[in-house]
Amino acid sequence: MRLVKKPLLNVLNEHLIDYPTPTSINYAWSFGFLSGMCLVIQIVSGVLLAMHYTPNVDLAFFSIEHIMRDVNNGWLIRYSHANGASFFFIVVYAHMARNLYFGSYLSPRILLWYSGLVIFVLMMATAFMGYVLPWGQMSFWGATVITNLFSAIPYAGESLAQWLWGGYSVNNATLNRFFSLHYLLPFGIAGMAVAHLALLHYSSSNNPLGCSSTMDKIPMYPYFIVKDVFSLLVLLLAFSAFVFFAPNYLGHPDNYVEANAMVTPAHIVPEWYFLPFYAILRAVPDKLLGVVAMGASIAILFFLPFICRAEIRSTKFRYVYRVLFWIFVADVFLLGYLGGQVAEEPYITISQIASFYYFAHFIVLSNVAYWLETSAVLMPCRLRKRQ
């Protein structure tokens, strides 16, 4: 309540200009700021697109073509929104990887970690529903496959899937409700981002050393604002390269074919940022257990502050876990590659091995690494005591 009573300029000065920031943080801490900028790009471009989009199964595909061909700079708005979603996930994944590397999910930042995960889940829901809106072949069949997963839930699955569709299959009612939710959820993400920022300033920023201290801090402006602005310019440069020179590189060519319920694509895949989770889903032969495994791959991140018992936060000082961390990153990239392949051997077997390592990394290997590290450190001390 004290923030509300303060003049707006004082609040901005306290939280953006004079906010005490650890001197040791580097460019890896810019990904949070870049995520906020990507959210702004998505909301602005999304509102402009919604002014010309028609959420109807007979007109949706052609309304996209109308935006691309007839609306002034419509191609720029559409490509900015489509590629902006990919860049949004890139910076968010990098932001999450930095948090995992430097132990930012541990106390006293558990609530901060949880708020970030809620944003991530909302992003996934928003992106999935947005992928359906162009009403191309991959949009329609991707929606059919993913929403069919709800039918695997015991007892209530079929009713839940039909409620989600608004009928007995993906149809006009599905498209309408997906459009409504896709328009609404980004504002929920923006609200959670404000809460995320408030929790960050409440618990203070982490740093590469992994230790909390009120000493050795400097104002955010100009030292770190300059870093964030430079990072934003680099991001915009890469973003512009895709928008102007390779706008369809991160998309799927089948989405330039109008949705047809009578013609199934040869290979149905979601967008690239869902491929690791899709690979985990397909790695399990049972439909229900596959859904559980995919859900667990996200849910395990919520339990991470309680699974990890390491007292040393930063992986920078954990020489065993550092190797395991980069193996984990490679494993996630491998899952992303496998998720885009046809569901046949040897991809299924490799997906099962990679999925097993994904869970083993969090549940077993992180604690085993800490045990090995502490044993290696304490062993010389024990030998000296015996002598």
- Residues making up the binding site: 81, 95, 182, 196, 201
Q: Are 126 and 186 in contact (CB under 8 A)?
A: yes
201 part of the active site:
yes
* 158 a catalytic residue: no
Angle between helices 110-132 and 74-102 (to 10 degrees): 150
Annotated binding residues for a ubiquinone, written as ranges, equal: 201
> Residue 114 in contact with residue 306, Cβ under 8 Å?
no
Annotated binding site for heme b: 81, 95, 182, 196
Is 104 one of the catalytic residues?
no
Rounded Cα gap, residues 181 and 43, in angstroms: 13
Alpha-carbon distance 258 to 99, whole Å?
41
Type of residue at 306: F
Distance CA 186, CA 192 (A): 10
Query: What single string gives the DSSP state of each residue in 130-153?
Result: HHHTT-BHHHHHHHHHHHHGGGGS
Is residue 271 part of the annotated active site? The answer reads: yes
Query: Residue 280: which of 211, 199, 356 has the closest Cα?
Result: 356
Catalytic residue, candidates 254, 258, 271, 373: 271
Backbone torsions φ then ψ of 133, nearest 5 degrees: -60, -35
Token pair in block for residue 277: 């989770």
Burial status of residue 289 (CB atoms within 10 A of its CB: 0-12, 13-18, 19 or more): middle
Active-site option among 205, 297, 314, 366 = 205
Question: Two tokens at 8?
Answer: 């707006």
Catalytically annotated residue among 35, 104, 115, 228: 228
Catalytic positions, written as ranges = 201, 205, 227-228, 271
